[in-house]
Chain A
């Protein structure tokens, strides 16, 4: 079946512009996660959705970052007034959360954002 998809795959933007990154999770997956990965670095948690609610936004770096999700479907990560330090690969993952069973996350291919 179809995996997690993200668009665009690459985005080059000028400093100060807004960008929207999209994630289409696997159908039926209730949980959706956004991570940021700077070059050669680990996975930095940004935000987590269970359905369309976001119980944890603690990872968002600043108020320039926001995210929303429609039901148990598409999610959009928006970065306003982009800065050069926002340059990174933004990864989305989805999972079928089942309490006390454990779950695995399926990652999308990522969006490489370059702010010039």
Chain B
């Protein structure tokens, strides 16, 4: 049931772009994206809802393909502060209020 994230890890230079993918084997109602810096709690980035409503972050965008049960997070012109582990969390169509998180994608930005 756990969504699959790819890649597992990314190393970028400052200013480069990154895409992080999240795919599910079950129909999704929503996809949530969080970022966790080392030793800190996860912080909310973005929610994408079935039907297209999106709530989130100014400098980070995301897409949600309901048919393919996939979401992608786009980080453009990456900054050093973007470093951390990105988790996608999925809520399934049965609306059981439970969010299942993927294993995370570690992003490291080099100066």
Contacts and interface: CB of A to CB of B under 8 A. Distances in A.
A associates with B: yes
Interface of A: 31, 33, 35, 41-45, 48, 50, 55-56, 58, 91, 93, 97, 99, 102-110
A38 to B, nearest CB: 11
Contact of A104 (B2, B44, B101, B103): B44
B97 A110 contact: no
Interface residues of B, number: 25
**Most chain A CB neighbours (cut-off 10 Å) among B30, B40, B97, B100:** B97
Contact of A43 (B44, B53, B55, B87): B87
Contacts of B102: 42
A91 B41 contact: yes
B47 A102 contact: yes
B95 to A, nearest CB: 8
Contact of B42 (A55, A56, A91): A91
